[in-house]
Structure 1
Amino acid sequence: MPAEEDDEDWPPLYDEKEFDEFVNRLVAMEQPRAFALVAELGVRADAQVIGWGLQFAEHVDVALTDGRTRLSFSTLDRVVRVLSSRGTVRVVYLPVDPLPDD
């Protein structure tokens, strides 16, 4: 988090519309990739969503659907390796909405 400073120490560099565009692009560039973790049951017989996650640039956070388990890993490969100990686990990325063209 940036250090707290008075707003007067930071003169505006953008008008309101330009700043909105700047913030939207910043968020789009830094947004984590959202994904589901899906366990394959049998050999392509059925499937179950077992968790949801966010993949950041430096780490991955996962919440399992059991409502109790939260995990953090350095890579998505490690998540899959740990959760695949009892069977096949797939990563399914959620679609990303493109930036509006305004």
Structure 2
Amino acid sequence: MSGLTEVRHGTDKEFAGFLTELVRDVAPRLFAIVEEYGDREDAEIAAYGLAFGDRADINSADGDFQMRSQSPESALALFALSAGTIDVSRLHLVWLDGAVVA
């Protein structure tokens, strides 16, 4: 066990609680990049992503590409470059825990 502290948790239930806490502490945040059409007339999900502490992994909603960026915000900027060629009026970064970044 290099680099890890050995900790014993008495019961299966206690250890399961420890594992749940461990996973929650390091879990990535789920977000979506959403394309807005017109002036709030319609919207479509362009991609979903996982935000880790040091990067964001993004998959297009239709499954045709994947990418990695430094952050969800930089992924949004990359999508903005490609969205200029279609009828997208605005892009949104939407966190699935409830926060929306315009």
| TM-score where L is the length of structure 1 | 0.76
Deviations 1:5-36 (A, max 9, x none): xxxxxx76112222111100011111110011
Match of 2:52 in 1: 56
CA–CA separation in structure 1 for the residues paired with 2:79 and 2:58: 11
Kindly tell me the number of residue pairs found equivalent between the two proteins.
Answer: 89
Q: Which has the higher strand share?
A: 2
CA–CA separation in structure 1 for the residues paired with 2:34 and 2:9: 44
Of structures 1 and 2, the larger Rg is shown by 1
Match of 1:13 in 2: 8
Of all paired residues, the percent bearing the same amino acid is 27
Deviations 1:52-78 (A, max 9, x none): 110011100000023120010011121
| TM-score where L is the length of structure 2 | 0.76
Gaps of 5+ in 2: none
The DSSP-based 3-state class of the residue aligned with 1:39 is strand
Specify whether residues 26 and 12 from structure 1 end up closer, same or farther in structure 2 by C-alpha distance, changes over 3 A only: closer
Q: Which amino acid aligns with 1:76?
A: P
